[in-house]
Amino acid sequence: MLQQGILNPDLLHLLARIRHTNTLVIADWAFPFWPEIETVDLSLCRGIPLITDVVDLLKDNFKAGRIWQAEEFLATNPQSTLELYRTSLDGFQSLYPAVEVNYLPHIDLKKMVPHAIGLVRTGDPTSYGNLILESA
């Protein structure tokens, strides 16, 4: 029986199928449903878990090559939220220094979603906090 790390069997199953250059979406509670891709819904209530909680758990086993986020995230959130994300994403960057966050318009980020292996829905209420991670 697993006793640490990611315990959710649906999330583990999804992560085990991601290969080189595949993408994974980590989304907030209000992100649209995409019927063409597998969705693992981890939301318990508003704020649990946060996108950064999921990122923090992924860092030990997910080798990120690139990360995308909506540029609107930077303009609509307080400095404390920007710092929370920066700290969380720095974990990928300390393990894999070439990883950087690429910002693009939210509408363009959504156009990338159907090409992802899967989507992880959280309870996060952060405006434009959604991330797309590409495996290295």
| Domain ranges (residues) in the chain | 9-135
Q: Which tops the pLDDT comparison, 82 or 61?
A: 82
Tell me which DSSP letter residue 45 carries: B
Distance of CA 46 to the CA centre of its chain: 17
pTM, entire model:
0.94
Mean pLDDT in residue range 39-68: 94
Helix (H) or strand (E) holding 10: helix 9-16
Provide the annotated active-site residues.
20
| 43: exposed, middle or buried (Cβ count in 10 Å: 0-12, 13-18, 19+) | middle
Please tell me the predicted confidence (pLDDT) of residue 94: 65
Domain 9-135's class?
A: alpha beta
